[in-house]
Amino acid sequence: MTHQLVTSNSLNVQQIGRGAAWAASFARPEPLDLPRLPRVGVISNLRSHRNRAERRRMLDLPEAFVIRQAPDSRPALDHAMRDFAQQDIELIVIDGGDGTVREVVSSAHAAFGARMPRFAILRAGKTNALAMDLGVPKDWTLEEVIAAHLDDRVVQRGPIRISWAHGKRPDLFGFIFGFGAYSRATMLAQKVHRRGWFNSLAVFITLSWALLRTMLGGAHTPWTRGDAVRISRDDHDIVRERLYLLLGSTLHDLPVGLRPFGRPREGLKFLAIKAPPRRLWHFLPSILSGRRSDWLEAHGIFRRDADYLTVSVRKSFILDGERYPGGNLTISQAAPIAFVVP
């Protein structure tokens, strides 16, 4: 059982174990030899799909020092991250979906710098791609997260870092990047979510819908025309043409068992398909299953690993489900982050 201390900030809940609360209430002539309490920060997105549908029991905890915040804007989130850094928080629990993970990890880089804490995820979003890659179950609780943290059950994932030229916008950190058909498919996914389909089912329906739009739309639709892009590395152009799709990720496994980058592995991986796509339906099984085929590159389908690329694109791109304006971008892999896992 834990005692609860509520501060004047209604979104800020601190909890300490019974031993620590007893020590704080009564003066003793000799110091108590109390175990060190893990310092945990929880960021809850109250607008996430699952958090709107149900109320999580957040107070069934082992002995721990917990600060819970539910910021409703990016400035409020940045303030919470700075507070976590000042409080020496060692574990940040993200109660939300992939978009919440992107925002929290991006904000944490600014607040913690090189001293990044561990992270854990409570699945509450519509897709939860990172959580599925990490093997996080739907019913994982905060109590179980803290127990796993104390047992040092962690894996490493290095996020994608998106940087605009000349610091035009703050850097972003996420795990799935894409533009072209991926941007258009993300807009379809929002319609799928509004119909009540989520997670792997939503991914399957969206992918099928996007392929149908591509196959049946003709040669001169936005889907098949693609988007103009320039991709370079070390000041040498790699691509300077229209692409049907550019997709990148540092995840090992994607939802529904998709393997567009080939076999699961570490690092930043890309899939590029030239526009208009040629015989896409014929090569689709090889693309989605990760199988190697000597015919893929001959038909404008490329898989590559790269620690960074410079991408110049006028159209917007998608990072973890959110649309951002294009420009002159550097896409790289950031330093690995420790995630607590079951």
pLDDT, residue 182, reads 85
Residues in the chain: 342
Each residue of 191-210: pLDDT tens digit?
665 666 565 666 666 766 67
Is it true that the peptide bond before 137 is cis, omega within 30 degrees of 0?
A: no
What is the secondary structure of 137-151 as a DSSP string?
-TT--HHHHHHHHHT
> What is the architecture, at CATH level 2, of domain 176-319?
Sandwich (2.60)
Each residue of 86-124: pLDDT tens digit?
999 999 999 999 999 999 999 999 999 999 999 999 998
Which of 27-41, 85-99, 285-299 is predicted with the least confidence, judged by mean pLDDT? 27-41
Contact 209, 188 (CB under 8 A): yes
Average pLDDT over residues 226-232: 94
Most confident by average pLDDT, 59-63, 139-143, 221-225: 139-143
List the beta bridge partners of residue 243.
Answer: 227, 274
pLDDT, residue 10, reads 33
Which of 17-26, 42-51, 93-102 is predicted with the least confidence, judged by mean pLDDT? 17-26
Exposed/middle/buried for residue 200 (C-beta within 10 Å: 0-12, 13-18, 19+) = middle
Each residue of 230-250: pLDDT tens digit?
999 988 899 999 999 999 999
pLDDT, residue 181, reads 85
Query: What are the DSSP E strand ranges found in the chain?
Result: 2-6, 13-17, 39-44, 65-69, 91-96, 118-123, 154-157, 160-164, 172-174, 176-180, 227-233, 236-249, 269-274, 301-305, 308-313, 317-319, 322-324, 327-333, 337-340
Contact 132, 257 (CB under 8 A): no
What is the secondary structure of 28-97 as a DSSP string?
-SS---PPPPPEEEEEE-TTSHHHHHS--------S-EEEEE--SSHHHHHHHHHHHHHTT--EEEEEE-
Average pLDDT over residues 285-297: 89
Each residue of 319-342: pLDDT tens digit?
998 999 999 999 999 999 999 999
pLDDT, residue 106, reads 98
Each residue of 137-185: pLDDT tens digit?
999 999 999 999 999 999 999 999 999 998 889 999 999 999 988 888 8
Average pLDDT over residues 302-309: 95
Which of 223-227, 250-254, 331-335 is predicted with the least confidence, judged by mean pLDDT? 223-227
Q: How do the domains of the chain map onto residue ranges?
A: 2-158, 176-319
Could you give the percent of the chain with pLDDT greater than 90? Answer: 59
> What is the architecture, at CATH level 2, of domain 2-158?
3-Layer(aba) Sandwich (3.40)
Spell out the residues 6+ positions from residue 68 whose beta carbon is closer than 8 angstroms to its own: 11, 12, 13, 41, 42, 44, 58
pLDDT, residue 187, reads 72
Average pLDDT over residues 38-66: 68
pTM above 0.85, yes or no: no
Could you give the percent of the chain with pLDDT greater than 70? Answer: 77
pLDDT, residue 86, reads 96
